[in-house]
Amino acid sequence: MKKKYLFFIYFTFILFIIFIFSFSSLSFAAYPKLVSKLIKGFNSIKEWLIKIATPAAAVAVRNRCFYEKI
């Protein structure tokens, strides 16, 4: 009776360890849906800011050269 009990304890412990190592890589290595949507949103905001800032920087450089010539 005691051997069966110890076997059951060891078996469940080993099975538990196997499940922890097999599922941990799947759950912690991937982005959740919410995080991936936030990252995509911030990337699109960054692209829009670059598109808006590029002509403004060109105008600022042009005006500076114009003021230096005067």
State pLDDT tens for residues 38-50: 889 999 998 888 8
| Distance of alpha carbon 15 from alpha carbon 11, whole angstroms | 6
| Distance of alpha carbon 24 from alpha carbon 28, whole angstroms | 6
pLDDT under 70: residue ranges of the chain: 23-31, 56-70
Cβ contacts of 18-26, under 8 Å, gap ≥ 24: none
- Which pLDDT belongs to residue 13? 92
- Which pLDDT belongs to residue 11? 92
| Distance of alpha carbon 41 from alpha carbon 12, whole angstroms | 44
| Distance of alpha carbon 26 from alpha carbon 29, whole angstroms | 6
